[in-house]
Structure 1
Amino acid sequence: MRDNRRMTDDRFMRIHDPELLARGERVLGVEFTAMHERVLRVTELTSRLNVLPFDDAAGKAELLAQILGGPPPANVTIYPPFYTDHGLGLDLAERVFVNQGCTFLDYAGIRLGERVMVGPKATFITMGHPVDPDERRRFLGGAPIDVAENVWIGAGATILPGVSIGRDAVVAAGTVVADDVPAASLVAGPKGTVRRRW
C-alpha cells in the first residue's frame, strides 16, 4: 500500500497485507468484522459521491479523500459513478483515468500505474469465496491486482484476483482476465487470450 494511507493501526495493516492474502491467508472473524464495517462506511461515501453534481469538484475531492484514505494525485481523473468496497487498498499513480461506472473491490490491493486508462464499467476484483459450498460462507481469500504503466483497460473488462498486467498492454472490452497479461500485448475474448504482441 502507498504511504499516504495514513494508517498506523497494526491490526489494520496486518489484515490488509496483500502478501498475506497472496499466500492464501483467509479473512475471517475479527478481520471480517473490520472489513464489513469499512465496506458499510465506504458504501455510504460512494453513494454520496455518485449523486453530486458533475461540476462539484470540491465535493468530489473531499469524498474521494475519505474513500481513498487521502487525496489522489492532482492529475488523476475519476468520473462518477465510482464504486469501491474498501478504498484504502486502491493505489492510483499519476495521470490515471477512470471512466464512469467502474468498480474496484480493492481489499487485497489494486495498483494502477502511471497513465493507466480504465474504460467504463470495468471491474477489478481482489477477493472471492471458496468454491467448496461448505466453506463458502466461512471465509474469504484473495490476492492483489497490479496494473503497470500505460495500460488501457477496455469497457466492461473484468480483472480477477492475483492478476498482473504488463506495461503498455491492452485489455479489450468485455474481456475476463484471470491470468497475467504480458507487457505490450492485446488480450481479448471471454478467457482473456493473448491475441498479439508488439
Structure 2
Amino acid sequence: MDKMLAGEAYLAGDPELVSARMRAKSLCHRFNLADPAYPAERMAMLSELLHCAGDAHIEPNFFCDYGFNIHLGENFYANHNLTILDVCRIDIGDNVLFGPGVVLSAATHPLDPVERLHTESGAPIGIGSNVWIGGNVSVLPGVTIGDNCVIGAGSVVNRDIPANSLAAGNPCRVIRSL
C-alpha cells in the first residue's frame, strides 16, 4: 500500500489492496441502492469511506477504488455517476460542484506492455475551492485545478489549470481568465 500511496509502481493484486477495494465497492454498492428519500442516511454510508470536512452530497451512482484517499472540503456536491479512482490522494476544496459523469483518475499504467501486465501507479489530483466541473469531464493523474475555475463539459484535463480560469476541450485548455 505504501508504494501505491507514494505514486510508485505497485501490484494491484496485493491482498491488502484487494481487501480495501472490495470494502469500498461494497459500501458504494449499498450507497447506490439506498433509498433517495433519505439523503442523510445515504451520505452517512459514505462517511465510512471518505474524509469530509463538512456537508457533502453525492447523487448515486458513485464509484471509487478505496475511498480513504478522497478528501472533500465543505459544501461539496456531485451529480450522478461520479467515478473516483483514488490510488493516490485526491483533495477537493470547499464549494465545489461536479456535473454528471465526472471521472477523477489518479490511476495510470506503464506504457510498456510487459510491465503493464504486472504493475500500475498513480499521481495525486488537487482541485481548489469554488470550482465547477461540468458534465462528463475527465481529470487525469497528477493534475491540479486552481481555485475559482470552471471546467467546460466534456473536457479531458491532462495538465494543470491555473486559478481563476475558464477551461475546456480535449485536451483541456484555458479559454480566458475569470
Tell me the TM-score normalized by structure 2.
Answer: 0.92
Deviations along 1:17-54, one digit per CA (max 9) or x if unpaired, are 3xx21xxx111278x33222211121111111101110
CA RMSD of aligned residues (A): 1.7
Query: Match of 1:46?
Result: 28
Aligned residue identity for 1:55: A
Return the alpha-carbon distance in structure 1 between the equivalents of residues 115 and 91 of structure 2.
29
8 Å CA contact 2:35–2:42 kept in 1: the answer is no
SS in 1 for 2:45: helix
| Structure 1 position 134, deviation (Å) | 1.0
Moved more, 174-183 or 128-137: 128-137
Aligned position for 1:9: none
**Residue 67 (structure 1) aligned to one of 35, 49, 66:** 49
Counterpart check, 1:178 vs 2:161: no
1:197 aligns with 2:177: yes
Aligned with residue 27 of structure 1, among 3, 6, 10: 10
Cα distance change of structure 1 residues 192 and 62 upon mapping to structure 2, 3 Å threshold: same
The secondary structure found in structure 1 opposite 2:80 is coil
Give the aligned residue type for 1:164. Answer: T
Runs of 5+ in structure 2 lacking a partner?
none
Distance 2:32 2:177 in 1: 38
Amino acid at match of 2:35: P
Structure 1 position 109, deviation (Å): 1.1
Share of identical aligned residues, percent? 34
Number of aligned residues: 178
State the alpha-carbon separation in 1 of the partners of residues 106 and 116 from structure 2: 16
Corresponding residue of 1:101: 81
CA distance in 1 between counterparts of 2:153 and 2:65 reads 23
Match of 1:3 in 2: none
Partner residue of 1:156?
A: 136
Whole-angstrom distance in 1 between the partners of 2:53 and 2:170: 33
Q: Which has the higher helix share?
A: 1
2:19 to 37, 50, 72: 37
Measured after TM superposition, the shift of residue 76 of structure 1 is 1.4
Following the alignment from structure 1 to structure 2, what is the Cα–Cα distance between the partners of residues 135 and 15? Answer: 16
Aligned to 1:5: none
The residue type equivalent to 1:166 in the other structure is: G
Q: Cα distance 1:95–1:106, how it changes in 2: closer, same or farther (>3 A)?
A: same
Q: Which has the higher strand share?
A: 2
5 Å-filtered alignment, 1:92-171, equals: 92-171=72-151
Report deviation, 1:16. Answer: 5.3
| 3-state SS, counterpart of residue 46 of structure 2 | helix
Cα distance between partner residues in 2 of 1:185 and 1:127: 25
Q: Which amino acid aligns with 1:108?
A: C
CA contact under 8 A between 1:129 and 1:137: conserved in structure 2? no
Distance 1:74-1:193 versus aligned 2 partners, 3 A rule = closer
